[in-house]
Structure 1
Amino acid sequence: MATGSATTRGRRQAQRAANSTAVSGAARAGFVARGVIYLLIGVLSLRIAFSDGGGEQADRGGAIAEIAEKPFGAVLLWLLGIALVGMAVWRLTEAAFGQAGPDGKKASKRAMAAGRCVFYGFVAYSVLSYAAGEKGSGSGSSDKESQDITAKVLDWPGGQWLVGIAGAVVAGAGVWITVRTVMRKFKKHLKMSEMAPKARTAVMFLGVFGGACRGAVFAVAGGFAIAAALKHKPGKAKGMDDTLRAFTDTAAGPWLLALIALGFAAFGLFSWANARWRKV
């Protein structure tokens, strides 16, 4: 009985910590950091749309390198990495105790939170590693990484199936993100009643436009992975940078990439709105 009571008290204490101001602040800092990364990717994509890109990467690595070149860049990277750790911690508490809202304790919601915790943990590690001096860590090309991983998996027994399934999952996630964004499902996570009418309109636009562009890029990247599996050619797989550049090969030329770039910037601003009005 005593052991059971101690366990119950421990769980309650952990849940109180998860709902604390510190975890809430960590989550909001994480949204700010996410916004910075997407804004920079948007800026880099816009540069590439109307130039040869100058060797810049329109992905997380490119954003990290861009920050590093600024005055006090190392300090900014440390702050960014720590903020992303905060995001990972918040997602971990959601996985352990459920999200805010009536359906937040569903197993599917908690599993998604666990996946996001791992993702943000990896991103935080890459940023902090770069800030600590491992220049090849955070700023590596997403295209080369995607092709290297694809090449390794294709050499495995059943590798084509694995790459194809992974591509289908990424493409499906892109479609899912786009559909939910257009349906404005994100509204239930925001404190809409606290927004002024003009702010509400702006946040809705940023969320729909930014989220739809983000989902489209995921869907296209997944399509490239499926093509790599079908043709057994690792070079067909593309990271974010090459996926974004592929939009310039369409009939719309650089203008489609420019639209996607503005969408990424919009998602960055939407992330900042989440930092202010997200229910955590």
Structure 2
Amino acid sequence: MADINRSKASSTDSSSASYDNSSSTAGRVAQNSVFERFARAGFVVSGIVHLIIGYIAIRIALGGAGGTADQSGAMTELAAQPGGIVALWVGVVAFGLMALWRLAEAALGSSSKPDADSKTSEAINRVKAFSLAVVYFAFAFSAFGFARGRGKSSSDETAGLTARLMQTTAGTIALVAGGLIIIAIGGYHIYKGARQNFLDDLEGATSDLVRRLGIIGYIAKGLAITAIGLLVILAATQSEPNKAAGLDGAFKTLGAQPYGVALLVVAGLGIVTYGLYSFAMARYARM
């Protein structure tokens, strides 16, 4: 019995050592000074993009000049500003490095959360890290296109993809499943903001201002993501692919409702708040 216990202990120690080694490897990747600076710059670029999206949404609500209230619209406006192309190229590198950081966490484990209390929570953390890596790679690819002057409307691309998938039953089912996943992601953002779980992603003492920005920002972004998922499902079930127009479609649908102007202004301000919180992430994020 003693031998069995020693064997189990040895196995546990070996597993723990393996996890510690993986976690320390992830830590060395994330804490490389050049890597970390560019990755943190990604939060700044993300903040700028969210500020512009929120501004476009408010501008649409108030009857100003049009625009696309989503990532592609924000990058279009950024590219038109002095120094905007340079900022987009910085974004390409920054988003790319953020994606690699999350990919390292997915493969090796998180260096900022080495105390995962179970294999299940560790697996969940790795799945979340991989999902974020995909998102950041998509941001980097989009920024690359706009930096080269060849950016495309994400709303048009989403509607086009939806139309192609709706041509088959399997594609329609996939769209509904995708919409449900998007709604779940939105719900997670709302939960994270309401429960203030985002504070676990930060290091050092944070102010009440940062906490409030995080609460409002995560809830606002979660509601926007949830609306996107609902529109995808509606587009699939009603055979109207143009309804699946991403964030821009969600904002414009919101604006068409009773009291839509007020609702759209509030939604825009919420996205702006998330942008401001992204600047705090550039300073306080655990890496």
Normalised by the shorter chain, which TM-score bucket? 0.7 to 0.9
Question: Who is 2:130 aligned against?
Answer: 114
Structure 1 residue 11: deviation in Å?
A: 7.0
What amino acid maps onto 1:70 in structure 2?
Q
Q: CA RMSD in A?
A: 2.1
CA separation in 1, counterparts of 2:107 and 2:222?
A: 27
Give yes or no for the alignment of 1:39 onto 2:34. no
Establish whether residue 129 from structure 1 lines up as the match of residue 145 from structure 2: yes
User: Which amino acid counterpart does residue 210 of structure 2 have in structure 1?
Assistant: V
**Which of the numbers 196, 202, 210 marks the counterpart of 1:203?**
210
What TM-score results when the alignment is normalised by the length of structure 1? 0.87
1:103 to partner: Cα distance: 2.0
Structure 2 residue ranges without an equivalent (≥5): 1-17
Partners of 1:58 and 1:241 in 2: how far apart?
5
8 Å contact kept, 1:160–1:232 = no
Q: Decide whether the 8 Å contact of 1:29 with 1:86 is kept in 2.
A: no
Using the TM superposition, give the Cα deviation of residue 90 of structure 1 relative to its aligned residue in structure 2, in angstroms: 1.4
Matched to 2:142, the amino acid is S
CA distance in 2, matches of 1:28, 1:69: 24
Alignment equivalent of 2:253, drawn from 240, 246, 257: 246
Q: Is the 8 A contact 1:29 1:87 kept in 2?
A: no
2:82 aligned with 1:71, yes or no?
A: yes
Aligned to 1:155, the other structure's residue is in SS state coil
Gaps of 5+ in 1: 1-7
* TM-score normalised over the length of structure 2: 0.85
Q: Does residue 93 of structure 1 match 2:104?
A: yes
Matches within 5 A, 1:163-178: 163-178=175-190
State the alpha-carbon separation in 2 of the partners of residues 56 and 258 from structure 1. Answer: 15
Cα distance in 2 between the residues matched to 1:44 and 1:153: 30
- Per the alignment, residue 41 of structure 2 pairs with 29
In structure 1, C-alpha distance between the alignment counterparts of 2:216 and 2:134, rounded to whole Å: 26
Question: Is residue 43–residue 261 contact of structure 1 (8 Å, CA) maintained in 2?
Answer: yes
Q: 1:11 to 1:207 in 2, by over 3 A?
A: closer
Matched, 1:276 2:276: no
Larger Cα-atom Rg: 2
For 1:4, the equivalent position in structure 2 comes to none
Aligned positions of 1:226-237 closer than 5 A: 226-237=233-244
Conservation of the 8 A alpha-carbon contact between 2:23 and 2:108: no
Percent identity, aligned pairs only?
31
Cα contact 2:54–2:269 (8 A) shared by 1? yes
- Where 1:158 maps in the other structure, the secondary structure is helix
Shift in alpha-carbon separation, 1:76–1:18, aligned structure 2, 3 A: closer
Q: Distance in 2 between matches of 1:181 and 1:18?
A: 25
1:248 to partner: Cα distance: 1.2
